[in-house]
Amino acid sequence: MTHQAIAVMVSGRGTNLAAILEAASKGNCPVDVRVVISNKVDAPALRIARDAGVETVLFINPKDYKDRDAYDKACADVIEKAQCQWIVLAGYMRILSSFFVNHFLNRIINIHPALLPAFTGADGVGDALAYGVKVAGCTVHLVNEEVDGGAILAQAVVPVLDDDNRDSLHQRIQAEEYKLYPQTLSRMVQCGFSMHARRIVWGKA
């Protein structure tokens, strides 16, 4: 089976990264996690990556760069040197520059803990709960210049229960994320996709 190299960008716990690494190591997801970049020095995701033996694991400090473009150029250099095909955002809580988005156009994927286009932004779970929706979920999408605005690759739905709080709902959503993200990456590598305006159609064009 063809494998493709990916770079994963993280800021936090890294449980999605762990799910991708596990799926890859079990032969269920044909990706090679070659690079992990964090913008946070204390992100537990860094340890997960090192423990899994990822080749290049880096904390790149935003404070060392004069602006967002300069920071993103440094990240892009690492990703290009490692010849990664896809850039996978897994809890990466930093807005990407236009430079980065256009440089890797249609090669950056994100997972968001809400059913887009509803509840974009930093607290998708809390916003959905506060709104009173009865179903919630997660979305895997391509990244464009609009925050959480790119074409949708896959979605999964969970119920919202009467006694949910932010954490319980997020947990239920994350259980779906751990399946959906590796599955979607597999599909991208194995089937490819074409884009028709905003619609993704699976299969080689």
Q: Which positions lie near ligand GAR, rule CB under 6 A?
A: 12-16, 45, 90-91, 111-113, 124, 138, 174, 177
Q: Which is nearer to ligand GAR, 66 or 156 (CB)?
A: 156
Pairing of strands 56-59, 31-38: parallel
Nearer Cβ to ligand GAR, position 130 or 191?
Answer: 130
Nearer to ligand GAR, 167 or 196 (CB): 167
Q: How far is the CB of 124 from ligand GAR (least distance, A)?
A: 6
- Kindly state the smallest distance separating residue 75's Cβ from ligand GAR, in Å: 17
Query: Considering the complex, what minimum distance in angstroms separates the CB of residue 205 from ligand GAR?
Result: 29
Q: In whole angstroms, how close is the CB of 58 to ligand GAR at the nearest point? A: 17
Strand partners, 111: 140
Q: Which candidate in 103, 112, 141, 170 is catalytic?
A: 112
Burial 11-36 (b: 16+ CB within 10 A, else e): bbebbbbbbbbebbeeeebbbbbbbb
Q: Assess whether 170 carries a catalytic annotation.
A: no
> Which CB atom, from 113 or from 182, has the smaller least distance to ligand GAR?
113
Q: Could you tell me where the DSSP H helices lie in the chain? A: 15-25, 44-51, 68-81, 98-103, 124-131, 166-190
Q: Which residue has the tokens 């751990």?
A: 178
Using CB atoms within 10 Å of the CB of residue 68, give its burial: 0 to 12 exposed, 13 to 18 middle, 19+ buried: middle
Using alpha carbons, list the distances in angstroms from residue 194 to 152, 197, 202.
12, 10, 6
Give the CA count within 13 Å in the CB-facing half-sphere of 166. Answer: 6
Q: Which residue is nearest to ligand GAR (CB)?
A: 91
DSSP state of 132: T
Q: Which residues are catalytic?
A: 112
